[in-house]
Amino acid sequence: MCPGGVRRPVSTDADGSEPAGLSPDEAFAALGDETRMGILRALGDAREPLAFSELRDRVGMRDSGQFNYHLDRLVGHFVSRSEDGYELRRAGERVVEAVLSGAVTQAPELGPTGVDRPCPYCGAGIEVRYREEELTLFCPECAGLYGERVGPEDHGLLGTLFLPPAGVEGRDPGELLEAAYTWGGLATMSAVDGVCPRCSAAVEESVEVCEDHDPGEGVCGACGGRYAASVRFRCTNCIYDRGGAFGVRFLTNTDLLAFLTARGDSPFGAPPRSVFGTAMDYEEEVRSTEPFEARFTFTAGGDALALTVGEDLSVVEVSEETGPGAATE
């Protein structure tokens, strides 16, 4: 049973055979036809297997021979055939999902727009911009998170969230930001736990530390960031490659999640009342680079939680302070 979904049988053809693999060239050649994409869309809309004649009617093709030719190009990898009719295999579902997400067909854009969210570092109202599946966040007042001034307005970069084009439809800028934090947060959580959110292969992580870090009252002149330690996630199979402040690595830490949710913060959604927001605003103490050891202190509701990370990047010490004196030690 898929979480929140429906139970689907293992897809095999009438003779019991499993789908054969395709090379990338073969796969794209099979999909490179309007009729075949129409077949996949029709099966994706169906709630049950479709007989040959019903499927042909839904696609709107009169020539039975031509339709059968195109259908045969899909059967075996993208479509299964049984006594009940034709239905999508998982590979076919993935194609339909990609099309409906807009990832391969749409390119909506949203120019710099103010939203009712404060910059976590200076409190000014932030702005967002969407294009090429990226929602970029800016602060018009401070240097942001990375110290990089971008755009004609020379605003401080706060970061980038990823969202397929379908996420833009029907949402105002504030709702778009909420959706991007939820989508991006879940993807980052997957990467943190070592699973690529794009292809599900293993993810390798690495840490970089600015040896001459001096953020002063803003960002460091040497590395351009607010924090000395940064983390990077690279997929061992596909091109997924993301990096950011080390705090994002705690998005799945049960101690931090328990600490924050007990104080009313949501695991998902936009800052400031979210785990994602807290994981980007913390106190950092890098104690050693070789081997790596650092202490990260998060605050919420006047209380503080400190997580100490050791050489293998696992948490080796947890300490919590409550009440008025719960500042960083």
Say which CATH number the domain at 87 has: 1.10.10.10
Same domain, 259 and 174: no
pLDDT score recorded for residue 291: 92
On average, the pLDDT of the chain sits at 84
Query: Does residue 14 fall inside a structural domain?
Result: no
Same domain, 219 and 275: no
Same domain, 122 and 218: yes
Contact 328, 320 (CB under 8 A): no
For residue 206, the cross-strand partners are 232
Contact 67, 35 (CB under 8 A): yes
Same domain, 232 and 256: no
User: Cα angle at 197 between 111 and 306, to 5 degrees?
Assistant: 90
Query: Does residue 313 fall inside a structural domain?
Result: yes
pLDDT band (50, 70, 90) for residue 151: low
Tokens at 18, concatenated: 């499993």
Same domain, 127 and 234: yes
| Average pLDDT for 261-274 | 73
Decide which of 239, 260, 290 is a domain's last residue: 239
Proportion of the chain in helix, strand, coil states, percent, rounded to 5: 30, 30, 45
- What one-letter code names the amino acid at 324? P
pLDDT band (50, 70, 90) for residue 6: very low
Burial category of 78 from C-beta neighbours within 10 Å (exposed 0-12, middle 13-18, buried 19 and up): buried
| Average pLDDT for 228-234 | 95
CATH of the domain at 266: 3.30.1450
Same domain, 260 and 290: yes
Give every CB contact of residue 162 below 8 A, 6+ residues apart in sequence: 133, 134, 135, 180, 183, 184, 187
Decide which of 73, 101, 129 is a domain's last residue: 101
Q: What is the pLDDT of residues 16-50, one digit of tens each?
A: 455 556 677 777 777 888 999 999 999 999 989 99
Same domain, 124 and 191: yes
Measured CA to CA, the distance from residue 74 to residue 40 in angstroms comes to: 9
Query: Does residue 185 fall inside a structural domain?
Result: yes
Same domain, 290 and 195: no
| Average pLDDT for 301-318 | 93
Tokens at 66, concatenated: 């031509």
Q: What is the pLDDT of residues 234-251, one digit of tens each?
A: 999 999 999 889 999 998
Highest-scoring range by mean pLDDT, 181-185, 214-218, 281-285: 281-285
| Average pLDDT for 304-311 | 94
pLDDT band (50, 70, 90) for residue 310: very high
Same domain, 234 and 163: yes
Query: Does residue 19 fall inside a structural domain?
Result: no
- Give the chain's domain count: 3
Contact 127, 155 (CB under 8 A): yes
Same domain, 194 and 216: yes
Decide which of 206, 239, 272 is a domain's last residue: 239
Same domain, 30 and 136: no
Contact 118, 125 (CB under 8 A): yes
| Average pLDDT for 44-73 | 92
Which residue range(s) make up the domain with 168? 110-239
Q: Please give the model's pTM, rounded to 2 decimal places.
A: 0.74
Query: Does residue 329 fall inside a structural domain?
Result: no
pLDDT score recorded for residue 10: 39
Same domain, 222 and 134: yes
Of 137, 133, 136, which is closest to residue 124 (Cα–Cα)? 137
Measured CA to CA, the distance from residue 110 to residue 52 in angstroms comes to: 43
Contact 82, 75 (CB under 8 A): no
Query: Does residue 122 fall inside a structural domain?
Result: yes
Q: What is the pLDDT of residues 80-114, one digit of tens each?
A: 999 999 999 988 888 888 888 877 677 788 988 99
Centre a 10 Å sphere on the Cβ of residue 43 and count the other Cβ atoms it contains.
Answer: 25
Least confident among 18-32, 69-83, 106-120, 311-325: 18-32
pLDDT band (50, 70, 90) for residue 288: very high
pLDDT score recorded for residue 9: 40
Measured CA to CA, the distance from residue 329 to residue 315 in angstroms comes to: 18
What is residue 17's three-state secondary structure? coil
Measured CA to CA, the distance from residue 39 to residue 86 in angstroms comes to: 10
Query: Does residue 328 fall inside a structural domain?
Result: no
Query: Does residue 12 fall inside a structural domain?
Result: no
- Between 182 and 25, whose confidence is greater? 182
